[in-house]
Amino acid sequence: MHPQLKTLVDDWLLHRPEGLRSNLLFTDHGRPVNASRIGAAVRKAAQQAGLGRGGGHRGTTWPQVTVHDTS
């Protein structure tokens, strides 16, 4: 995980509302979210951001390279 993303996630976990606290990071109405739904959300966000097809397993190199290429 990119260090900046880890910082953002850690901050969110620390400050999230009491009603959203869980031992799970990704939930839908308090129930676990499976890996395929998370992957689909990552791909959708990448396409909407104009980054093309992305996936969770490329998270350590692909987003960093893409962001640096566009700046």
Residue 28 belongs to a domain:
yes
Residue 34 falls inside a structural domain? yes
State the average pLDDT over residues 14-39. 82
**Could you give the CA distance from residue 34 to residue 17 in angstroms, rounded to a whole number?**
23
- pLDDT band at residue 12 using 50, 70 and 90 as cut-offs: confident
Give the count of domains, the chain.
1
How much is the average pLDDT of 21-31?
80
Residue 38 lies in a domain: yes
Q: Is residue 32 part of a domain?
A: yes
Domain hosting residue 38, numbered range: 24-56
Does residue 70 lie in a domain region? no
Residue 2 covered by a domain: no
Whether 48 is covered by a domain: the verdict is yes
The answer to whether position 39 is within a domain reads yes
Q: How far apart are CA 66 and CA 71, in angstroms?
A: 9
The predicted model scores a pTM of 0.48
pLDDT in tens, 32-46: 888 888 888 888 888
Mean pLDDT of 43-69: 63
Percent of the chain predicted with pLDDT > 70: 73
